[in-house]
Amino acid sequence: MTESGATLGLVERPAATIEPPGPGTRIASSLRSGRNWQQLGKFCVVGAVGYLVNLAVYEGVRHAGVHYLVAATCSFLVAVTSNYTWNRLWTFREQRGGIAIQGMRFFVVSLVALGANLVVLYLLVSVAGVSKLVAQAIAIVAVTPLNFVGNKLWSFRRAST
């Protein structure tokens, strides 16, 4: 030690800090993950089946004389049940948690997606003049990214350890 109290040969430096990755880093990492792309692919396959179920039920209910927005709600309920089952068993099977909790979360995310779907459907039919079946097909596709992200990050998120 010298008279000033410093040890010879050592330089004092502030402690290094490790900052958590920012949102941009996390998003970039997620986009590079093959596992995420595989899950998205499975989600889209399940969604494609749900899409066909949704459209078939929608047309059947609508042709029974039910208002198109009510028909969309009915077809949603049938499709969401199918989608939850297949996503739980196949897409996110490694992330299965309690069936009631995941089911409730999946339903909440699906309700948000339904709300977005109904807004897009209404605008396409009422404002843009698109046919009701084509508008429903477009609306389903438009809300799919919202639906996937909500289910990936909340409904089927990995349990904290």
- One-character DSSP codes across 59-128: HHHHHTT--HHHHHHHHHHHHHHHHHHHIIIIITGGG---HHHHHHHHHHHHHHHHHHHHHHHHIIIIIS
Confidence of residue 52 (pLDDT cuts 50, 70, 90): very high
pLDDT for the residue numbered 60:
96
Q: Give this prediction's pTM.
A: 0.64
The ranges assigned to domains in the chain are 36-155
Confidence of residue 47 (pLDDT cuts 50, 70, 90): confident
pLDDT tens string 131-145: 998 998 899 889 988
Percentage with pLDDT > 70 across the chain:
76
pLDDT tens string 103-154: 899 999 989 998 999 999 999 999 999 999 899 889 988 998 898 889 888 9
